[in-house]
Structure 1
């Protein structure tokens, strides 16, 4: 199920005239559109301002993926669900893991640093140049995934210019038990075993899940192994709940390396680095609490994540080995006051985010010790207005201070010790202009800071400047019992975008602050019931990413397809049979080194197809599924000019059996 719902967040210190104009012209309502959508689709609780939301404060234009959607589409992991069902463009991982680099609004190779991913309110996005390890989340534990596109730094801090993805795990049922056993096998030596069990007694609940996956993957020397465990305990009582959760993941990868254009044409499965390997260990412990006191909702999460990454690259016969050990601690208390004010409903939220991150490196080329601390305070207020044309208006602001330091006697970058303070704001509103039609507008400022890897190999003696973006979005939401759609126009004006420039540092390349850049475009999400047993969902993103000033003014940004179109057709007759088929087309894009747009060729467009058929027989489900059914040869990662190519996966067929109890 994918659908759009009406407004939510808020933000800040903008002039009163702008707030007044929005309240008159756009403001937002308790949601005729959301009510109509709820008539057609199962009810879900949308995360509001980092709280389970009153229906009046549902997020603007959110895409929601439910557990049923994930199972029906046969998504093997959270990352795949976001791509296949949510329509988010993803680039093939370079290590054989299922953790594709997700890209909202065309941020190319730095897309992971321009979006925020949270798991039950805890930030998963890394302070390094790595993707969030979504493969560590057992997909069977996920209740829903919420995708909110566009700038959101007020509530979620740095790196939220492209948007936010919330992953929400299942809450236990009162006095109930549920369990699952699942086995899957397929081409390229795929073996995947999973089990999950949850039990509750009155207000107390326990749950646990384990997984073990092995695959040789499509390319030579690209085997991948993953072992996961997730377990939690929680106690719900009158007015609140408390709990703790532990997540563990161990993965090992063989790294096949890039190919030349000739190698790619001759044999895309070939490896070029037959001895390179990597491994990742991740442990995450989270405690949480929620409490209602009168008209106040109190909530907090305290989490600690330990992460060890190991690699061995054989540029020389002796090889080069490295170990990175990082620890991140986050504490996020917050409070909400929700109360009527005459004919209006008011939601006031205030919160603090405290994050401490450290990393120690032991390698042949670096012995870096790096640390980053951030302290943030945010405040937002949102009002709903009744009447014939229900409306909402919201404002909010965030102030965040970063402290960074690093020392490294072996690397090229000089040590640093710095402090940076950044502000974000946003104002938004919407209005129901007629039954089933809502108009909305959002404007704001978002930001991100350079991470330790970017500052570790930079183009300038001083630290890279913070990246800022002026964000604007206009949208319309339409919804009836059998048809719904959301259309958005967006623009991000970026200053000091942080990016790797291959032409910097005398042609050796380095991380740098780019000349001013821009992202602007259109997004359309739609869903429809086209017959009693048939449903269709579709997503289209058109984005123009380019330099607006400097020596490359007018040139397109690299590794950004202008168009990405996704569509899915589901058949659910309710007699034990079900089928789901999907397609995604990504248009042409510039090669990763083509900043001046002088490379004579581009990465070709590609269309991929996937499908799944399942048969339910009592507690058993048997399914057959296929990815890249047309066996399309293509790439989403190529870092030279028609070179440095990492081929995408070829066709893969899989069968699975699942038993629920």
Structure 2
């Protein structure tokens, strides 16, 4: 499996040269899936489970942010730090705890949203109204996507929309306000789509006032056998930072803030031109170029820490899919190249009004070539094989003249089988390798560079599962085991990031739905997991911030055609505080169960929604580090009204 891709790419055309020109193509009618192959496919027989959240699911949820939509999905532990707008929310897949955000790859139409540092995803980069669907792969996506895709992949897909327009107004607790609008129009050969959104809220805690604006657009045109497009967007976030509470503060008044003047300001923008072509009946080509820029300014007054960060990323991601056949067998191969060139500059000071005392700049270039082959061995049985070679060059300098380099290359492989036992019944299994490179914050410390650069993370995994899909029911089950080496984590004693001893992440993800009749539907999910250290002083101890159980259950009731009522409960089990690798220093974060209620009425062109979050006003903290607590919002209410033109 650990072979170099350049020789493989050179030999590939020769291997298939004798294939039958009219060999059967791998196509299956059904839902369109992108993430499993990086091409639009109709139910591609991938050796994994893909969870799809549709536009209708998002609209009926009444959610104000994408993390709010994702929190009910099996295998995802959603941990917000501040407020209902999703600012600084981390999503954990496969049980990585405090480093989860760097091990879950988030894509926007296939392009990476993960930052060069440890900044959490800007979940507001696109308005919810512009999202066509969200695809989720629990488990490694490193072959197709590389770095960061250790625990899983979340792909936010916008795409082309039908002609139309809408406007939406909303209001709720903590003086929450929202206005959004959008339209899509075919103007001759040009399709134009634009969405805009503004949200304001004072916040449940002190110093947690938030304001978010975002705009996203797409211009596209079809030509013979293809499409050219440009995606672009801009977003801003201004938020107070109330900070983490001690246990005494949390018990006494979870609404209080540690400081009243700490804040974060974030500005993000991107532009992404691309082209999609059906070159021949058996050959597809897709390529995007991208430019993104993020400005992130923060002031944490109790740490005397002002940080002004600016980053830019250039990308180019061409790929080719060939339906070539392999003798009489159906077979197709995707081969692609990923190029990313990014830089990040951080200006630091002890005051938000003082002079800059330190500047750090990091440059990072990443180049990768990958291929994936899917071959139908027999009717219903598909073999998937893939490999990737990725090289990264990192260099960092600071204002004192110090310089550090950190260059690495990794080659990984993966094999999987998917078997369609019968209509609506599929089983699968796969095994392979995964990896992650260090980000900027993991190469630096508060005072300078780390004593020595950390090594890349690497791991080996095996997944197996079943997918049952009928007219009135659905069931997805995936069991997994992931052994990791050299996970990167912060050491609160040395004040540096370091490589941990070996860890093992094991579990089972279950998601299900059952339609009782046309009026009633039951949905549910269960994630049982354990993540433990396998070596070193903490051998046998649990990885912090990883709950042993996460579950949800919900019911949808449609008493009349226009009205939909939903009640959803989420449960997250106990977990050790971040940084407590010995499981002995701090009290565990308590388990919690919350419930949300949504009512939605749709009549003609009008849609009205009302939502109550944390219906029972449960007091809980999704996250906490070194014995601290980040309280979640208490009971909140929000309602909105939408008109579609």
- For the criterion TM > 0.5, the same-fold answer is yes
The answer to whether the aligner puts 1:647 opposite 2:631 as a matched pair is yes
Q: Counterpart in 1 of 2:337? A: 352
The answer to whether the aligner puts 1:250 opposite 2:236 as a matched pair is yes
With a CA cutoff of 8 Å and minimum separation of 6, indicate the structure with the bigger relative contact order.
Answer: 1
Q: 1:247 to 1:103 in 2, by over 3 A?
A: same
Partner residue of 1:237 out of 197, 212, 223: 223
How many Å apart are 1:148 and its aligned residue?
Answer: 0.4
**Whole-angstrom CA distance in 2 between matches of 1:402 and 1:56:** 31
Q: Counterpart in 1 of 2:556? A: 570
Partner residue of 1:521 out of 507, 514, 525: 507
The answer to whether the aligner puts 1:381 opposite 2:373 as a matched pair is yes
Partner residue of 2:313 out of 305, 312, 328: 328
Structure 2 residue matching 1:136: 3-state secondary structure = coil
Q: 1:522 to 1:45 in 2, by over 3 A?
A: closer
The answer to whether the aligner puts 1:161 opposite 2:150 as a matched pair is yes
Structure 1 residue matching 2:630: 3-state secondary structure = strand
Q: Is the 8 A contact 1:614 1:621 kept in 2?
A: yes
Partner residue of 1:80 out of 68, 73, 77: 68
Structure 2 residue matching 1:112: 3-state secondary structure = helix
The answer to whether the aligner puts 1:124 opposite 2:110 as a matched pair is no
**Whole-angstrom CA distance in 2 between matches of 1:31 and 1:199:** 34
Q: 1:164 to 1:465 in 2, by over 3 A?
A: same
Q: Counterpart in 2 of 1:23? A: none
RMSD: 2.3
Q: Counterpart in 2 of 1:24? A: none
**Whole-angstrom CA distance in 1 between matches of 2:287 and 2:640:** 39
Q: Counterpart in 2 of 1:308? A: 295
Structure 1 residue matching 2:623: 3-state secondary structure = strand
How many Å apart are 1:11 and its aligned residue?
Answer: 10
Q: Counterpart in 1 of 2:468? A: 478
Q: Counterpart in 1 of 2:10? A: none
How many Å apart are 1:58 and its aligned residue?
Answer: 5.0
The answer to whether the aligner puts 1:370 opposite 2:370 as a matched pair is no
Unpaired runs of at least 5, structure 2: 6-23, 350-356
Q: Is the 8 A contact 2:369 2:389 kept in 1?
A: yes
Q: Is the 8 A contact 1:153 1:446 kept in 2?
A: yes
Q: Counterpart in 2 of 1:6? A: none
Q: Is the 8 A contact 2:103 2:436 kept in 1?
A: yes
**Whole-angstrom CA distance in 1 between matches of 2:560 and 2:607:** 14
How many Å apart are 1:485 and its aligned residue?
Answer: 1.1
Q: 1:13 to 1:75 in 2, by over 3 A?
A: farther
The answer to whether the aligner puts 1:598 opposite 2:584 as a matched pair is yes
**Whole-angstrom CA distance in 2 between matches of 1:621 and 1:438:** 37
Number of paired residues?
Answer: 616
Q: 1:461 to 1:493 in 2, by over 3 A?
A: same
How many Å apart are 1:459 and its aligned residue?
Answer: 9.2
User: What TM-score, normalized by structure 2, do the two folds share?
Assistant: 0.91
How many Å apart are 1:201 and its aligned residue?
Answer: 3.2
**Whole-angstrom CA distance in 2 between matches of 1:180 and 1:172:** 13
Name which of structure 1's ranges 179-188 and 524-533 shifts more when overlaid on structure 2. Answer: 524-533
Q: 1:179 to 1:201 in 2, by over 3 A?
A: same
**Whole-angstrom CA distance in 1 between matches of 2:546 and 2:472:** 34
**Whole-angstrom CA distance in 1 between matches of 2:32 and 2:336:** 24
Name which of structure 1's ranges 339-348 and 470-479 shifts more when overlaid on structure 2. Answer: 339-348
User: What TM-score, normalized by structure 1, do the two folds share?
Assistant: 0.89
Unpaired runs of at least 5, structure 1: 1-9, 15-28
Q: Deviations over 1:21-51 (max 9, x none)?
A: xxxxxxxx9999x87xx5xxxx444444100
Q: Counterpart in 1 of 2:482? A: 492
